[in-house]
Chain A
């Protein structure tokens, strides 16, 4: 088999399934858009307005709501391809413009949380892997706690006590880097708990494998075995969870941004949900699905590079 074909087939296959998922997501969001009961015109006009039938008709034409559904569907798909996400019912602005101003703070928060979650996971796992029962029991208990506590509640408590009571950290509305600490930690904790557990299980497994024994037999210290050799094995399952991490970050951002009164896509989403601003809601949900697909695609491609066994045609996605 030529080098070209060996690479082309799995890459095209993964790209294709990614595109298919995105198309499905766009279709779902279109259907949802038209499932919502009530007249869109009421949402556009806001409550308690007595608009003339002519005005209502003009709004309908303006948003292209008078056309047959297949036409609207194709127009939305075409719009998505050109980056046109529709127009907000509430603000009358293109959805792209509504989101563009808010994406920065959310990305900043998500990146900070990702770094923190990875830090928590690897530090906790490396510190407890291969150790005695007590250390593992404590780590295991803390991990379980991290996923069982509603993180937004923990965020509220930490925020109140650290920012108000003891004034250790800046209050709401502050935009400095110190103001990012608590929100990022709130977002990172449940994700870090899951990752820590996954990494520790992988480390324990790798430490018991023959290659770890070989490294020890060569006279390497336990620390070298752990940091230089087994940690790589643990990194792979973490990469597999990347898609889940992105989803958790976006879902968690909704709550974190509300709790800490931070600007961002999560706040925009909550406002859009309460005011039934469907174009904004669907655009955000679609955006998160796209992020999920792209991240998974990148991880899959990275695997193809790392693990030649996956490059055979028969390998599943």
Chain B
């Protein structure tokens, strides 16, 4: 994740990258927000209404995205699937960011021994590929939406912790932080008032792109049968269900996949356009 975020965390270029794409991305994310909060507004049918007679209807008529093997409306399931898919993406990122912030700040401001111990620990965790680390956690805590959220969040902690420490260290050593120490300002206050604001910008960039990556990881674990259990609609498990019928009913697995792509693309495009508006040096 870190590599992807580092490579795409920069500002966007060109007219398409600065004007058109961000507008489309913003529209997608607004739609997504509506789907998460008021899915009933966008979904033409209840997500779990089965109707075997109208199974595998191609897109068109009352079913813009067609119906699946049980006659459930694919569009409605994609809309309702936004909630668990996004819950995993946002929840895992929030967990990773908060834990990473705590560990990173502790390493940067604490005694040298603590810093070295924490960094060595992170080196160990960074040696595990993220998806495998998440699978290891799932083995311990079991499958399910919340557990997958925790697993992906834990797997992301080292990346965030490293970033926070890296951003915090120069601030701690800066003349103004030293001046604050001389003036008798207490350590927690220095961290809150001087270190934290310098860390949040780059952290937000990394976290936003990380949310997209977490959505993909979450759908991957659901696809493997470890995430949101059926019959609840979730993009990854819809992909997994739909692939058996893909040769005859392409729409069942195509639309949930497109939903994932739309979300991940929009998030990255929006961050890049925001980055191209902020002054240089405000990010990682």
Residues of A bordering B, CB below 8 Å: 17, 20-22, 24-25, 28-29, 32, 35-37, 133, 137, 140, 144-145, 147-150, 152-154, 156-157, 160, 164-165, 194, 197-198, 241, 244, 246-248, 250-252, 254-255, 258-259, 269-270, 272-274, 276, 278, 281-282, 284-285, 288-289, 292-293
Residue from A29, A153, A160, A276 in contact with B260 in the complex, judged by beta carbons closer than 8 Å: A153
B193 CB, min distance to chain A CBs, angstroms? 30
Residue from B4, B121, B132, B239 in contact with A24 in the complex, judged by beta carbons closer than 8 Å: B121
Given contacts A156-B253, A274-B225, A197 and B7 within 8 Å (CB-CB): yes
Q: Mark B126-153, 1 if CB is under 8 A from A, else 0.
A: 0111111101101110010000000000
The answer to whether A149 touches B139, judged by C-beta atoms less than 8 angstroms apart, is no
Q: How far is the CA of A247 from the CA of B129 in the complex (A)?
A: 5
Given contacts A153-B253, A273-B226, A281 and B220 within 8 Å (CB-CB): no
Contact residues in B for A258 (Cβ distance below 8 Å): 223-224
A interface, over-half SS: helix
Contact residues in B for A269 (Cβ distance below 8 Å): 132, 135
Q: Which residues of chain B (205-224) have a CB below 8 Å from chain A?
A: 212, 216, 219-220, 223-224
Q: How far is the CA of A71 from the CA of B224 in the complex (A)?
A: 36
List the one stretch of B76-84, B100-108, B261-269 in contact with chain A.
B261-269
Instruction: Place the interface of chain B in its size category.
Output: 35 or more
The answer to whether B128 touches A21, judged by C-beta atoms less than 8 angstroms apart, is no
Q: Mark B241-266, 1 if CB is under 8 A from A, else 0.
A: 00100110010011001001100110
Contact residues in B for A244 (Cβ distance below 8 Å): 3
Residue from B16, B127, B268 in contact with A25 in the complex, judged by beta carbons closer than 8 Å: B127
**Which residue on B lies nearest to A243, using beta carbons?**
B127
The answer to whether A20 touches B139, judged by C-beta atoms less than 8 angstroms apart, is no
**Which residue on B lies nearest to A190, using beta carbons?**
B4
Residue from B8, B121, B223 in contact with A152 in the complex, judged by beta carbons closer than 8 Å: B223
Q: How far is the CA of A260 from the CA of B128 in the complex (A)?
A: 24
B234 CB, min distance to chain A CBs, angstroms? 13
Given contacts A144-B265, A160-B243, A278 and B139 within 8 Å (CB-CB): yes
**Which residue on A lies nearest to B133, using beta carbons?**
A285
**Which residue on B lies nearest to A163, using beta carbons?**
B247
Q: Which residues of chain B (79-102) have a CB below 8 Å from chain A?
A: none
The answer to whether B19 has its CB under 8 Å from any CB of chain A is no
Q: How far is the CA of A151 from the CA of B125 in the complex (A)?
A: 24
Given contacts A20-B120, A255-B223, A289-B128, A35 and B140 within 8 Å (CB-CB): yes
Q: How far is the CA of A24 from the CA of B120 in the complex (A)?
A: 8
The answer to whether A164 touches B129, judged by C-beta atoms less than 8 angstroms apart, is no
The answer to whether B61 has its CB under 8 Å from any CB of chain A is no
Contact residues in B for A246 (Cβ distance below 8 Å): 129
The answer to whether A270 touches B224, judged by C-beta atoms less than 8 angstroms apart, is yes
Residue from B129, B132, B226, B264 in contact with A148 in the complex, judged by beta carbons closer than 8 Å: B264
The answer to whether B139 touches A156, judged by C-beta atoms less than 8 angstroms apart, is no
The answer to whether A150 touches B136, judged by C-beta atoms less than 8 angstroms apart, is no
Residue from A160, A194, A251, A252 in contact with B3 in the complex, judged by beta carbons closer than 8 Å: A194
Q: How far is the CA of A24 from the CA of B126 in the complex (A)?
A: 11
The answer to whether B139 touches A276, judged by C-beta atoms less than 8 angstroms apart, is yes
Contact residues in A for B143 (Cβ distance below 8 Å): 274
Q: How far is the CA of A285 from the CA of B123 in the complex (A)?
A: 15
Contact residues in A for B223 (Cβ distance below 8 Å): 152, 255, 258
Q: How far is the CA of A292 from the CA of B129 in the complex (A)?
A: 8
Given contacts A148-B264, A273-B226, A281-B135, A157 and B246 within 8 Å (CB-CB): yes
The answer to whether A250 touches B132, judged by C-beta atoms less than 8 angstroms apart, is yes
**24 pairs from A and B in contact (CB 8 Å cutoff):** A21-B120, A21-B123, A28-B124, A36-B140, A144-B269, A148-B261, A149-B261, A150-B239, A150-B257, A150-B261, A152-B220, A153-B260, A156-B246, A157-B257, A160-B250, A197-B7, A247-B130, A248-B129, A250-B129, A250-B132, A272-B139, A273-B139, A273-B226, A278-B139
The answer to whether B14 has its CB under 8 Å from any CB of chain A is yes
Apart from A25-B127, A273-B135, A288-B129, list 15 A-B contacts with CB within 8 A: A21-B120, A21-B123, A24-B120, A140-B13, A140-B17, A145-B261, A148-B261, A148-B264, A149-B261, A247-B128, A247-B132, A248-B129, A251-B131, A259-B243, A270-B135
A273 CB, min distance to chain B CBs, angstroms? 5
The answer to whether A137 touches B16, judged by C-beta atoms less than 8 angstroms apart, is yes
The answer to whether A281 touches B268, judged by C-beta atoms less than 8 angstroms apart, is no
Contact residues in A for B257 (Cβ distance below 8 Å): 149-150, 153-154, 156-157
The answer to whether A160 touches B246, judged by C-beta atoms less than 8 angstroms apart, is yes
B141 CB, min distance to chain A CBs, angstroms? 9
Contact residues in A for B265 (Cβ distance below 8 Å): 144-145, 148
**Which residue on B lies nearest to A281, using beta carbons?**
B139
Q: Mark B1-19, 1 if CB is under 8 A from A, else 0.
A: 0011001100001101100
